[in-house]
Structures are given as C-alpha cells and as structure tokens.
Structure 1
Amino acid sequence: MTRERMLAPSRVIRATPQQAGGGRDRAALVQKARESIGRGSRSFAFASRLFDRDTRERAWLLYAWCRRCDDIADAQDHGGTLGEQTGKQATDRIKAIRALTDRAFEGLPTADLAFDAMGQLATESGITREMAEHVIGGFALDAREWRPRTEGDLMRYCYHVAGAVGVMMAYVMRVDPKDGEMFDRACDLGIAFQLANIARDVVEDDAAGRCYIPTEWLAERDLTPGQHTKPGNRFELAALIPRLIDLMEVHEAAARLGTKHLRFRQRWAVLSAARIYGAIGRKVRDRGQLAWHRRVVIGPLAKTGHVIAAFFEALVNSPPTPEHMPRWTRGELVPIKGW
C-alpha cells in the first residue's frame, strides 16, 4: 500500500512567528502612517508636528489604524463618498475590522499596513485589545443604523469613537497607567473633539442617513431625524447647536487640567489641537443657520495663531479650574456589555 506523500515535510512547516507590526519594518509603517494622517486630517497632522519625535510617530501609528477602521466601516478611502451602510455588508466589515485587529494584537501579519501599525504601537505603548474594542464598538453602532435617543446615548457614542481614542493617546504619551485622572482628562478631550465634529457635519451625516443629535432634543424643536436638516428647518436646527457646543466646552475645559502634567511639547501639541477643534465648534455655533452653507474650516493663518497661543499657554502651564466639571465621566461612559 502506497502512503500518500505530504506536500511538505513536517519539519519544514512552521507556525507564523509573532512579531511587532506583523514583522514589517517600523520605519515603513511610520512613513505610511504619516501619509495617512496627511491625507485624512490636516488639523491633526498640523498639531502632531509639535510632539517630540517618539510621541509624534506613535500618534501617527494610532491615527492610521483609526482612519483605516473608519474607512473599512464606511466603505470609503480617507473620507469621501460613503459605501453601502446597512445590512450584511456593513456587519461583515465590522467582523473584518475585529479579525484584523485581533491578528495585529497577536503580533501576526495582517496584509494591511494600518493594522500592522496598531500591532507595532501596542507592543510599544501598552495599548490593549479591550481599548481597541471600545473604539470598534462605535463603528458597530453605525453599522446597525443606531441613533441616540438621549443625551447619555450621544455621550456614550462620543466615548466610543473619540473618548476611547483619547485614552489610547494617553498611552501614546506614556501617561502612568495608574493615573486615572489623566486618562479621564484625555477622554474629555476626545469627546470635545467629537462634539465639534457632530456640530460641523450634521448635514453631511444626514445625507449619509445618520443623525447624532438625540431624538429627544429634536422633538423639543418639533424636528424628526431625516427632516432636521431641510432648508426650512435650519433655524430650529441651529438653535440646538449651542447645546452641543456647551457640552464641548465643558469637556474641553476639563481636558486642559490634564495637560499640566504632560511634558512641554506634548502639552503644546494637545493645547493646539484643543484650540483648533474648539474654534471649529464655536464657529459653527456663531454662524447659526448659515453654518452648513459651506464646510467650516480653520485656515492656515488661524491655525498658526492657535499654535502660538497654545505655546504661551503651555509655557505658563496654569490651566484654570473649570466652573463645572463634566456630567458624563469616563466611568459612566465605558461600554456596558450588550449596549
């Protein structure tokens, strides 16, 4: 009886080795991540240059993963036109994000530079798979056409898509893992950024079938999701924006307290980003019903002004104590199982 030959001798077959970044060259990962942030967010790219080299490179690696997850979830490339957002395709894309992220944290190659970048970053920074899952949870909410009903729902969504990223950025900046207060403030900053984004992008989000303004807020103005951005409803819609920006400013002020304990260049970069995103939110509020005639941006000259102001703020390093601390804390916003 002839024995069937193996395709390869057993001594040749080896398990895929576990290596940081899936075995990719770190410099190549950093370069691709730098290109990604340059394409995807001019504001973050601008502020990131103020970090020291190590922090800057790790921030780019984190951004690359976040951007790629966002693009996979929305079937797009560095923003732009959204692909199919509902049904099995959307669910399958979330599964793919989770599978690739799992491989990255296991030190296995993913065939995707952005996920290998996360694998590299996790090895260097101590970021965990659970932290990444908090962010992925936000994409999963969008995939199932979720909409916030209450302010608490809105804030939990902001935690998922931005506050949790702020927590990971604290690891990027090598904040002591035992310093819970610092992680709370990092979370506040991410939430503040997201609230500014929601105010600015409300019409774009509606065009994609999404609404992040709580339905309870809309009902108070006799607005319904899907109709709230119609030209005839812009005045009532604009009346809700100060409420979003008030929340933004509370979290923004709290976040400033955390910068006091960062190294100077980290503090400067974070304060610059806070000023730029805060300016976006306040510009939307101040334009009223005209806020969405064209996309609100902060131009290069204004950004430079915010960076200069942040330099002196970082130099003095004496953030004022906020009049009010956030109602929604990180401890309240972390995911509830099954939420």
Structure 2
Amino acid sequence: MGVQYLLFHCTYTIPAAALLTIFYYPFFTRRDICKITFLNILAVTATIPWDSYLIRHGIWSYPPDATFNRTLYDIPLEEVAFFVLQTSITSLVYCICSKALVLPMHLPVRPVRRARDLGGLGLVVLFAIGMVCFVSGGGGTYLGLILIWAVPVVILQWMLVSPFIVSLPWKATAPPIVLPTVYLWIADRSAMAAGVWSIESATQLGVHVFGLEIEYTPCPFCCFCDMNLRTRREMLFFLVTNVMIVFGLVGFDYACAMAEYTTICTGVAPSTTRDAVKGVLQALLHPPAIQASGITDLQQAVARLHEKSQSMFVGSALFQGPVRVDLIYVYSFCRVIDDLIDEAEDEGEAQFWIAECRRCLDARIRPQEQPPSPKPRTPYNQAKQHLLHRAVATLPLSRMPTQPLYDLLKGFEMDLAFTTASPSAKHKGHFPIATEPDLDRYATYVASTVAELVLDLLHHHYNRSHLYDREAMAHAGRQMGKALQCVNIARDIHRDAAIGRVYIPTTWLAETGLTPADILQDPRSPAAYAMQGRLLDKAEGLYGQARGAIEALPPGVRGPVRTTVESYMEIGRYLRERRGESLQTARKTRLPVGRRVRVAWVGMW
C-alpha cells in the first residue's frame, strides 16, 4: 500500500479544483451545481467500464505501492477520484469562461448543416481509425481504445448540439478544453515519471520523428519534447475527455437556453425548481421555433449594454435566466433613448425623439388610443426611428409598471432645457439644475425610475416565497438611484461640459463664487474637482441610507443587486483616488477589469 497517487492528487488535482472553487464560489448558481453534478455522474459512469477493461487486460496498470489497493471494478479509488476531479476542474473553467454569456442570444436561427456534416464526417473517420488500430492490435491498441470509446460519445454530442457549439464564442469553449488539458499534460508527465501509473509498452506505437526515437528525446527548449510515447497517448486521452466534458456542458446550456427562450416568448416563468427542470427537458425534446428577429433584438441589446455600461453589463451577468434578459431590455431602452437625445443635431430633433418614444409607449400600453405615426424627416432618422421602435417593443411591460418610463422622459426633457437656454442666460447662471432639490428631482427622473423598474421586475420573478416591505424597498430604490446618478454626474463633469451642460447645482457653485459658465470654460479646474468631491459625498450619503435594504431582498437577487450597486459606487472611490486626473481624459472613466472582478467577488459573498 502506497500514497503516491494520493500525493499526486494533493499536488495537482485537488489544489487546482480547490482554487477554482474558491474563486467561483460566490458566483455559483443552482444551474451550475446541477450541471457539474450531472457531468460528474456521467463521466464516472461512462469511464468505469472502459478503465476497468484496460486494467483487466493489462493495458493500464498501477504499481501496488502507488495506491491504497482499494478498488471499484478493479479501478483504484484514487483513479475514480481523478475522474471526478478532472470533470470538476474542466467544468469550473467552463463556468468561469461562460459566466457573461446571455445564452438565448446564441441560439442558432439558421441551419448549420455543412458544419455539422463536416464535423460528423471527421469524427466518423477518427472512429474508423480507432477501429483499425484496435483490431490490428499491438502498438495501436491503446490509441484505438481511446478513439472507439470517446468518439461515439462526441459524435452523439455533436449531432445534438453542434448548432449551439458553432454559435458560441470560442472564448467560452476553447479555454475550458485547452487550459485543463495542458495542465493535466504537465501533471501526467510528473505522474508517469514517479510511477503512479503506467501503460503497457506493447500497446504503444513505435514511432520515429525526424529519425529520432520518441521514446525519449530530450530537448533543452521545451518541457514537452522529452515526453515519451506513453505520455503522448495520455495527452490524447486528456484532450478527448475534456472535449467530451465541455460538449456535455454546452449541451446542458443549450437546453437551458431553449427553455429560457420559451419563457421570454410566453412571459410565463417556472414557479418551482421541478417546473424549471421539466421546462428544460421539454425544450431539449421539443425545441421551440427560434425567431430571427427576437434573437437579433437580444444580440443588439447585449452589445449596446456591453459597449455603453460596463457596470450594468457586469451586474446583469450575475442574474440568470429570463430576469437577466428583462433587465437587459430595460437597460437597452434607456440607453437608446438617451443616445438619441444626446446625439440629436438640434433641440427640434431631440423633442421629436421624446415625442416619438412617448407615442410608442402609448401604442403598446393603450393601443386603442394610438395616434398616427409622424413621418420621419430624413432616411437617417428613419433608421434611428426603427431602433427606437424595437427598443420599446422589447420592453417587458407585462412584468413592470409603466409610469416610471414616462417619468424617465421628463428627465430627458430637463436635459433639453440646457439647449434652450441662451448664451446670455448661461452667463447669468440660469441653468435647469439651479438648486440641490433640482438635482434630486432630475436624479429621480433619470435614475430612480430605472431602479423602480428593476425592483418590480425582481419582485415579479423572485417574490413568490420571499416577502418584504415593498414600499420601504421602493423608497430605498429611489435613494439608491439618486446615489448612482450623482456618481454619473461626478464622473462626467467634463464630458457634459463639452455639450454645454452643467448638472452641478448653481447654488453650490455660487457658494464658491463660481457660475456654470466657469465650469463650461474650464471643467478640469480645481473647482471642478471640488464639486466632484461634493457630488461623491452626496452619493455616499444616499447610499448609506439605502444599502441596508438590499439585505431584505430575496436570496437569489441580493448578491447581484449588491454587486451592481457596489460596482457603481466603486467608480466614485476610483475617482477620489485619481483626483487631479479623472477629469483629464475625454473618455468615460471605467474601472480596471481586475478591480471590477474583485468588487463582484466581494459583493457576491
């Protein structure tokens, strides 16, 4: 009895699995747990017969002094543990790489028969090669056994989920295959050298490369070049097993994506875990018809959010299922109308977009009272008008109140007051945000309304079994929205000044002998940084009043909401750290990626 295999686990597999688990632990969802558990059961069940055959026929062996000699179907228990640990490591890497994906947007809307058929043909050829190697015996036996065991599984996976595999970004599928495979190659090289396991040399190929014996060819430049042929066969084993694991995970996500798509289309979410599982199975057995227009709308909304608001995108990634899609559509609508107004050539065009947005909302909420649609003035506006119509059409109005949407438009009308003020009025200090109550009113219109919409969506999706004081939560949401808007204003003082806007209350400026015109003239002055600090103080005060309400939210959304808000507040802290330079760049200040990840990790805890 020996402990070499146990030491191998303690050196390589257990630390890797533990570190990945600790890193990902705050982001675990029930779906992740089900996915990893399901894959582990399949991996162990599928590998035991094959591994047992190898051991019983002397192809694969373990020295008696390397294990505890406790077996399952002749397989050492340490080896069974390896199946679980490898599957867990690969699954965790996949979960990390695919966390930000909005699964329904990757559902295929066009057939991928050519890719499916070519991939299937290649796999059939590999299976045929495996059969030839196995039947021929001798040096190709082990290679043949790997291929005839693994390729049929991969063929089945490929035929079922190849459309989804092809449509997913490579960053979600390639790293979970490549990284664990390379890591296990390194670990396997060490295990082979230590004699933890071995492969019968008679079942290996005697191949020479460039006239050199592969059995042992040292190279001073590459640690992989001195691997013997046994290790090369193991490299193939780890590669194909990781492909099977990742394809299995993708298949699980494919079924979940189709179930989410059905929920989005019908608006009926599963009320229990059992209903959710039933919906996933039904989607897998009877896939829904995918509408290209719906997928396109979702893809554009996600791209818009990713480009315009990193904090909101990171926050949305922490939600799962239909609620995340609803939130994305709300954020996308806000972004579309905001951009249309900010980028308008003149006040008349901006007023047109507000009126058109109000008309579109009326058409959805009260279709019987729909007024005639005004004709777009130019073809360019017609393209923008279509964009606005789609943004309104995708709003989940059946699951949230509509009054906050109209209040949001009032906030945009306050923005237009800047363009109506004459230059002489600006120099006299007559700006829409004259006092702190004006700032509060503006922040309520443009930010508290969004917070109210988000809370109502969360209430719709998660409040079936978790009760809380809805009025108190709504008040806290309004305070939180105002806090986040103050951070926005503090960050964008110089960017707003470039378009003739100063959201700092005129009374604040007057206390220091300044006017809004002074900020317009020099938005990067020490006075501007002083005003930035005061806005951040106000934001932190509002946040302090409301942050306790987050802990009363349902467990499923408490962490994501906390993280989303903390991501915004972290921008304020970042601005304080960069005092003297945060207003110097023309670009919007963004948190570094590492800092965003840290905030998300702490917030989800």
TM-score, L = length of structure 1 = 0.75
Q: Distance in 2 between matches of 1:246 and 1:47?
A: 23
2:576 to 272, 277, 285: 285
Higher helix share: 2
In 2, the alpha carbon distance for the partners of 1:73 and 1:229 equals 20
Aligned-residue sequence identity (percent) comes to 26
Is residue 397 of structure 2 the alignment partner of residue 122 of structure 1?
yes
In the alignment, is residue 54 of structure 1 matched against residue 345 of structure 2?
A: no
Structure 2 CA distance for partners of 1:265 and 1:26, relative to 1, 3 Å? farther
Give 3-state SS (helix, strand or coil) of 2:584's partner.
Answer: coil
Higher relative contact order, structure no. (Cα contacts within 8 Å, ≥ 6 residues apart): 1
Which residue, out of 39, 52, 66, partners 2:334? 66
1:198-237 equivalences under 5 Å are: 198-228=489-519, 230-231=521-522, 234-237=525-528
Alpha-carbon distance between aligned partners in 2 of 1:106 and 1:33, rounded to the nearest angstrom: 25
Cα shift at 1:259: 1.4
Q: Deviations over 1:88-141 (max 9, x none)?
A: 3322222112112212324689952111012xx011x1322x221111101111
Q: How far is 1:50 from its partner?
A: 0.3
2:358: which partner in 1? Answer: 98
Structure 2 CA distance for aligned equivalents of residues 250 and 232 of structure 1? 24
Alpha-carbon separation, structure 2, partners of 1:211 and 1:232: 9
Residues 103 and 178 of structure 1, relative CA distance in 2, 3 Å threshold? farther
Indicate the residue corresponding to 1:244 in structure 2.
Answer: 535
Cα distance in structure 2, aligned partners of 1:243 and 1:172? 33
Q: Corresponding residue for 2:602? A: 309
- Alpha carbons 1:50, 1:265 under 8 Å: kept: no
Structure 1's 215 and 85: CA in aligned 2 closer, same or farther, altered over 3 A?
A: farther
What CA distance in whole angstroms lies between the structure 2 residues aligned with 1:91 and 1:232?
27
**Corresponding position of 2:345:** 84
Over 3 Å counting, the alpha-carbon distance change for 1:43 and 1:127 in structure 2 is same
Aligned to 2:411: 138
CA deviation vs aligned residue, 1:23-70 (integer Å, no higher than 9, x gap): 996555434322321222122111111012122111011112111111
Residue identity matched to 2:573: R
**Distance in 1 between the 2:318 and 2:310 partners?**
13
Q: For the residues of structure 2 that align with 1:29 and 1:174, how far apart are their CA atoms?
A: 25
Matched residue type, 1:298: L
Matched-pair contact (CA < 8 Å) for 1:148–1:215: yes
Kept after mapping to 2: 8 A contact 1:229/1:237? no
Amino acid corresponding to residue 303 of structure 2 in structure 1 = E
Flag the 1:212–1:122 CA change in 2: closer, same or farther, 3 A: same
Question: In the alignment, what sits opposite 1:154?
Answer: 439
Distance across 2 between alignment mates of 1:62 and 1:262 = 20
State the distance in 2 between where 1:122 and 1:232 align.
40
Moved more, 49-58 or 264-273: 264-273
Uncovered stretches (5+) of structure 1, i.e. residues with no partner: 1-18, 76-82, 313-339
Q: Shift in Å at residue 264 of structure 1? A: 2.8
Between stretches 267-276 and 32-41, larger displacement belongs to: 32-41
- CA shift, 1:85, in A, is 4.3
Shift in alpha-carbon separation, 1:152–1:221, aligned structure 2, 3 A:
same
Matched to 1:215, the amino acid is: T
Query: Do the aligned partners of 1:245 and 1:281 also contact (CA within 8 Å) in 2?
Result: yes
Number of paired residues?
Answer: 281
Unaligned runs of 5+ in 2: 1-264, 268-290, 374-384, 419-430
Return the alpha-carbon distance in structure 2 between the equivalents of residues 56 and 253 of structure 1: 26
Letter of the 1:114 partner, please give it.
A
Change (3 A) 1:260 1:24: farther
Task: Read off the aligned partner of 2:410 and give its amino acid letter.
Answer: G
Match of 2:477 in 1: 186
Aligned to 2:451: 166
Contact 1:147 1:210 in 2 (8 A): no
2-structure distance, mates of 1:20, 1:244: 43
SS of the counterpart of 2:501? coil
SS of corresponding position for 1:144: helix
Deviations along 1:124-180, one digit per CA (max 9) or x if unpaired, are x1322x221111101111123252111010011001110111011111111679711
**One-letter amino acid matched to 2:318:** L
Distance in 1, matches of 2:325 and 2:523, equals: 46
CA contact (8 A) 2:433 2:505 kept: yes
2:494/2:524 contact within 8 Å kept: no
CA shift in 2, pair 1:134/1:85, >3 Å: same
What corresponds to 1:298 in structure 2?
A: 591
Cα root mean square deviation, aligned: 2.7
Shift of the alpha carbon at 1:291?
2.3
Matching residue within 34, 45, 60 for 2:313: 45
- Alignment TM-score, normalising by the size of structure 2: 0.43
Question: 2:564 aligns to what?
Answer: 273
